[in-house]
């Protein structure tokens, strides 16, 4: 028998698989994943008693950005970690979706990650630099060979040979 999880005054079966159609993208996850944050819109949507009825082919339809929902779902599955690919650029859309689903912790993580990534600028094929608040280079990471000029607080020329 499935174990119950209380969401407010409502009780749901936590290990029940849920089939979703989010803006035309299909996802399957557990009810416990969707209700992980009891004050979120997803918890309200998927409470057993007052939740959305399946509307199409046994799937729950949510009229939101389907591809972006993968990052929302990964946040819920990974228990509050934000995993985004390198080069991610849809920050405003992701923030709007986190706001819609009322996931305050996700909004905080998005803002922190965006700031971090904007401070790390690619400066070549295999390396990137971090900058301070004034735009000065403070760190360069990666593998380089040959001669390279570093700029920022000071100018230096280093031979980066074998």
Q: How confident is the model over 45-91, as pLDDT tens digits?
A: 988 766 677 776 889 999 999 999 999 999 999 987 999 999 999 99
Q: How confident is the model over 128-159, as pLDDT tens digits?
A: 556 566 666 656 555 555 555 555 544 444 45
**126: buried, middle or exposed (CB in 10 Å: 19+, 13-18, 0-12)?**
exposed
Share of the chain above pLDDT 90, in %: 52
Q: Comparing 7-16, 31-40, 92-101, which segment has the lowest mean pLDDT? A: 7-16
pTM for the predicted model, two decimal places: 0.67
The domains of the chain are located at 4-120, 123-160
State the pLDDT at residue 136.
60
Share of the chain above pLDDT 70, in %: 62
| Fold designation for 4-120 | Potassium Channel Kv1.1; Chain A (3.30.710)
């Amino acid at each position: 028998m499935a174990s119950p999880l209380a969401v407010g005054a409502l009780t749901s079966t936590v290990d029940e698989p849920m089939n979703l159609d989010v803006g035309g993208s299909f996802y399957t996850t557990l009810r416990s994943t969707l209700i992980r944050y009891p004050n979120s819109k997803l918890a309200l949507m998927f409470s057993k008693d007052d939740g959305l009825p399946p509307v199409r082919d046994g799937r729950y339809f949510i009229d939101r950005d389907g591809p972006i929902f993968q990052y929302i779902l990964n946040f819920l599955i990974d228990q509050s970690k934000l995993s985004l690919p390198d080069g991610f650029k849809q920050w405003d859309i992701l923030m709007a979706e986190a706001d819609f689903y009322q996931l305050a912790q996700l909004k905080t993580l998005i803002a922190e990650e965006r700031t971090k990534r904007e401070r790390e600028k690619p400066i070549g094929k295999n390396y990137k630099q971090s900058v301070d608040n004034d735009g000065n280079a403070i760190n360069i990471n990666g593998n380089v060979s040959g001669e390279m000029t570093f700029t920022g607080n000071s100018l230096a020329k280093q031979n980066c040979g074998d």
